[in-house]
Structure 1
Amino acid sequence: MKEVLYSTITGFLVGLLFAKLKLPVPAPPTLAGVMGVVGLFLGYVLAVRLGWMR
């Protein structure tokens, strides 16, 4: 659980840095885009657990 918390905090801080430097965010800027990334991750996890990835 620490990894999730640290990743969230790190992502938040990097997001602040990108905003400060006026750089585009290297992630989908909409909820639909973010959920697409989440779906991709969950699909990968499922494939690994089903043994499709060796």
Structure 2
Amino acid sequence: MKELLLALLTGAIVGFLFAWIRLPIPAPPALAGVMGIVGIYLGYKLFGWLFS
């Protein structure tokens, strides 16, 4: 749980800094893009679970 909170905090800080220096966000701007990244992660984990 601590790892998740640190990742969320780090992401929030990076997002804040990108907005502050007026750079485009380093992530997909829509929920569908974020879900695509989650799907890639889950597919990677599923492959490891099935074939390890």
* Identity, % of aligned positions: 58
Q: Which has the higher helix share?
A: 2
1:9-34 deviation digits (Å, cap 9, x = unpaired): 10011000000000011110000000
TM-score (normalizing by structure 2): 0.92
Structure 1 residues without counterparts, runs of 5 or longer:
none
Question: Partner residue of 2:26?
Answer: 26
Q: Which has the higher contact order (CA 8 A, sep 6+)?
A: 2
Q: Is 2:26 aligned against 1:7?
A: no
Structure 2 residues without counterparts, runs of 5 or longer:
none
| Deviation >6 Å, runs of 4+ | none
CA RMSD of aligned residues (A): 1.0
Q: How many residues align structurally?
A: 52
